[in-house]
Structure 1
Amino acid sequence: LRREDWRDIKRLASEQMQLTCRWRFTQEIDGNKVISQSFTRLSEREADAQKGCSDVLLWRKYRGKDGSVGTSSPSKRKHGPADAAPFAQKRTSLPRSDATMITIEDDVDESEPEIVLVRRKSTPNSTTVARARNNAPPKSAYTYGDICTGAGGMASGAVQAGLRMQFALDHDHDACETLRLNFNTRVLEEDVHTFCTKLKVRGYLRVDVLHISFPCKFYSPAHTVAGKDDEHNVATGYAVKPILERCRPRVVTFEQTFGMLRSANLPHFHALVKQATDAGYNVRWKLINLADFGNPHARKRLIIIASCPGEPLPRFPEPTHGSGPGKKPYTTIYQVLSRIDYATVPAYMQQYSEKRGAEYDPHQPLKQAITCSGGLGNLHPSGRRSFMPIELAALQTFRLSHRFHGTYTSIKTQIGNAVPCVFGKTFFGEIVEDMKEHDKTVAEYMPPVVELD
């Protein structure tokens, strides 16, 4: 096109065409610092009059007519998950003998509002309504699935928050055996690729809340030498879309090292967010220091929350520990280790290596984060030995009853890779409360009424 033609096209567009906005990017700022960011789909209330779609209808279409809330299997319907049209009714009869039959044959498009058809009878002030019965709030616990579960740190927090675990997936044998020792759930011992390419999708994969902790070693600031599993680990982060297609969760959460937000790794982070938004999910992310939630050592992690179409996007919980009104003091090493009854701890969890370090005050948080090898802070306050596996597990806020399978090295790796349970309990507790509020909205939803002459 010539420059003059392009100017004419731009002028025509500005005068006669409408700009449509469907998504919003938001930054939450504290002072001069960005503390969280989000991509959210415009809600029905934010859309222009007669231009939006009901959030409840979007939610029902994605999740199924009943939302499959608190159940272990998807809703029964003839349509497949991708092309489900749960609001189409083949025949709806009015309850009285002299009522007229109303038949709705066409599927309802998600962009069209759900309506109630009302047939006015000859008797004054007498109206008969044919409409679907509203969903009642869930009676059973919300369901939960975990991918790249490891030893079950985040899963333990989810269960403590009241979620009912339906499956856990990990490719590491020792981690899977650890999961079998601690959770009454299906443990899928396979990698993400196998999970995403299975032809048959089992009903138990449909969950209300899904958590994913993709391998983070490649994105860690400590990763300075190429590893043999780098390509495989990076590839798992590009499996978000097929995972969502199989599990169709109301809320999906991700945990990653803060190094994923470094400039060299941003393309991978942007790809993860795009996969979620392409599936219609709202996404919010934030860097969080887990010590602010009761973890006895600083551990900065990238936490991502995403919600399905029509589901309100949960906010991050407020810190429970630190300085300031209403907050508890930071958890100390002494507080954690004093709860251990060493007489009841099995021998394999009391192994340690001798050290020649300086004694230090245990009435303070651990100064270095626990890693797969124990970390630079793997020194008991006595200065004479490393921490025992039972102590490392307690410092990662595992319950003292949590059992581990594997060698001494394998157990330390499982503990170092874990997300502290104490954060998971608070984090998922807030999400559960948000879902309960949304369920009330769904139960109270009344579609528009159209009177038939």
Structure 2
Amino acid sequence: MPTPTVIDFFSGCGGTSTGLRDAGMRIAAAVDFDSAASATYRANFPEAEFHEVDIRILAHDAFDHLVPHDAPLVFSACAPCQPYSSMRPTASRARPRERSLLLTLIPFMDRLIPDVLIVENVPGLQKIPGGSTWNRFLRYLARAGYSTRWEVIDCRDYGVPQRRKRLVLLASRHGEIDLPTPTHGGNRRPYSTVRDWIGSLPAIQAGETYADDPLHRSGALGDLNMRRIMALSEGGSRSEWPDDLWLECHRNSKGHQDAYGRMRYDDTAPVLTTKCTDITNGRYGHPTQHRAISAREAALLQTFPLEYKFLGSLKSVTKQIGNAVPVLVAKAMGDHIVEHLNDAGIDSDG
């Protein structure tokens, strides 16, 4: 079978493209509107045609010249997930324009008729009430002749050292398709751990950047937050603090228990958000060093390769990493798609 060609919609900094490239696919083009994520993507995929533009105004024939006549075409789409995130309390009241971004894919699908589609998002996408974007998109796929399979997956099941639940859909116009069999957990291989992915990185201090890797940098801590993290054991939380370190807002609240906590080396990490290099926003303290995890450590916990380049400030890079699709999840989907297309007998005639 010729090498599958990928067009990556809502590409972000490139997590999905990296996984699909690792699965042997050719990344032909990508689209994203975020300037910082776009710069990172271009730095890692110089061979791909990149469109830094709002997809709602992108010409529907923008990719016509890239569509192969002798190879399968794969679309990937991870529309911005904030409107549907469980961490956004007003998710059900997201603006209609935010909700409908997934539907902007339809004109491109009608025009180019991809062989396979991958959609990845937060589980909340399927729960928006009313005329659900998700249900409308599923109805479109059925009318267009695609077989679909979707479910909420645990990224740990595919080797990601992170408790991250994601909604994943695969759609194919070449017969029934399912999701890849998990490789980790249960009676399979043990879950990957924080130690597996960041345990060998050089030690740094809060506010320091490692000389040989500008991404291995950690945010500075004020005196009070330094005392707070120094008071914690590995895997510890603020329940270990002496009374003078407590915040008034936490004394009578059971919410946000992970804030200011440390990770544990021999466990999986919590879900990484767009603020995952700040100890005040979750259990993002390094297991043993007195600091938050660095941007490089966050990227590794999202299973990006060590040499992956990220451009921008620490805040910007952290946002890019938190929004990314874990690379190993994308690779598992890519490997499975290649197997599916081979089993379907896809050749140069499509």
- TM-score, length-normalised on structure 1? 0.62
Percent identity between the two aligned chains: 27
- Alignment match of 2:99 (pick from 234, 237, 251): 234
In the TM superposition, 1:10-409 aligns within 5 A as 138=1, 140-183=2-45, 184-195=47-58, 197-198=59-60, 201-205=63-67, 208-225=73-90, 230-262=95-127, 264=129, 267-308=132-173, 311-324=174-187, 327-340=188-201, 345-354=212-221, 355=225, 356-357=228-229, 358-360=232-234, 362-374=264-276, 375-382=281-288, 384-409=290-315
Please tell me whether the aligned partners of residues 37 and 320 of structure 2 are also in contact (alpha carbons under 8 angstroms).
Answer: yes
Deviations 1:55-83 (A, max 9, x none): xxxxxxxxxxxxxxxxxxxxxxxxxxxxx
**CA distance in structure 2 between the aligned counterparts of 1:359 and 1:199, rounded to whole angstroms:** 56
The residue type equivalent to 2:283 in the other structure is: G
Question: For 2:132, what is the secondary structure of its paired residue?
Answer: helix
Residue of structure 2 equivalent to 1:124: none
Instruction: Tell me which amino acid in the other structure corresponds to 2:48.
Output: T
Q: Contact between 2:86 and 2:124, CA under 8 Å: does it hold in 1?
A: yes
Contact 1:167 1:186 in 2 (8 A): yes
Q: Which sections of structure 2, spanning at least 5 residues, go unmatched?
A: 204-209, 236-263
Greater share of residues in helix: 2
Match 2:336 to one of 430, 441, 449: 430
CA 1:409/1:200 → structure 2, altered by over 3 Å: closer, same or farther?
closer
The CA deviation at 1:202 is 2.6
Once the 2 structures are TM-superposed, how far is the Cα of residue 297 of structure 1 from its aligned partner? Answer: 1.0
| Structure 1 residue 433, shift from structure 2 partner | 1.1
Q: How many corresponding residue pairs?
A: 301
Please give the per-residue CA displacement for 1:95-122, whole angstroms capped at 9, x wherever unaligned. Answer: xxxxxxxxxxxxxxxxxxxxxxxxxxxx
CA contact (8 A) 1:370 1:377 kept: no
Contact 1:205–1:246, Cα closer than 8 Å, also in 2: no
Per-residue CA distance 1:387-408 (angstroms, 9 max, x = gap): 1100100111000100011111
Decide whether the 8 Å contact of 2:119 with 2:170 is kept in 1.
yes
Cα displacement (A) at 1:441: 8.3
Equivalent residue letter for 1:167: A
Are the equivalent residues in 2 in contact too, given 1:366–1:377 (CA < 8 A)?
Answer: no
CA shift for structure 1 position 349: 3.8
What is the CA-CA distance between 1:237 and the residue it aligns to?
2.0
Q: Which amino acid aligns with 2:218?
A: Q
Contact 1:285 1:305 in 2 (8 A): yes
Tell me the amino acid that sits aligned with residue 303 of structure 1.
V
1: CA distance, partners of 2:180 / 2:61: 38
Write the letter of the residue equivalent to 2:315: T
| 2:194 maps to amino acid | I
Q: Is the 8 A contact 1:148 1:169 kept in 2?
A: yes
Aligned to 1:113: none
Q: How far off its partner does 1:320 sit?
A: 0.7
What SS does the aligned partner of 1:264 have? coil
Q: 2 CA distance for matches of 1:173 and 1:263?
A: 28
Of the two, which has the highest radius of gyration?
Answer: 1
Larger deviation, residues 359-368 vs 186-195: 359-368
Equivalent in the alignment of 2:238:
none
Backbone CA RMSD of aligned residues: 2.5
Going from structure 1 to structure 2, the CA distance change for 1:188 and 1:433 (only over 3 Å counts) comes to same
Question: Does 252-261 or 230-239 show the bigger shift?
Answer: 230-239
TM-score by length of 2: 0.79
- Verify the 8 A CA contact 1:240 1:272 in the aligned structure 2: no
Task: Specify the code of the residue in structure 1 equivalent to 2:201.
Answer: I
Counterpart of 1:234, as a letter, is R
Determine helix, strand or coil for the equivalent of 2:27.
Answer: strand
> What secondary structure sits across from 1:239 in the alignment?
helix
Change (3 A) 1:199 1:150: closer
Q: CA deviation at 1:259?
A: 1.1
- Secondary structure of 1:218's counterpart equals helix
Confirm whether residue 414 of structure 1 aligns to residue 279 of structure 2.
no
- Indicate conservation of the 8 Å contact 1:157/1:422, yes or no: yes
Shift of 1:199: 5.3
SS of the counterpart of 2:129?
helix
Structure 1 residues without counterparts, runs of 5 or longer: 1-137, 446-453
3-state DSSP class of the match of 2:142?
A: helix
Find the aligned partners of 1:394 and 1:294 in 2 and give their Cα distance: 12
Aligned to 1:100: none
Residues 285 and 385 from structure 1, CA distance in 2 versus in 1: closer, same or farther, beyond 3 angstroms? same
* Preserved contact between residue 148 and residue 177 of structure 2 (Cα < 8 Å): no
Find the residue that maps to 1:154 and give its secondary structure: helix
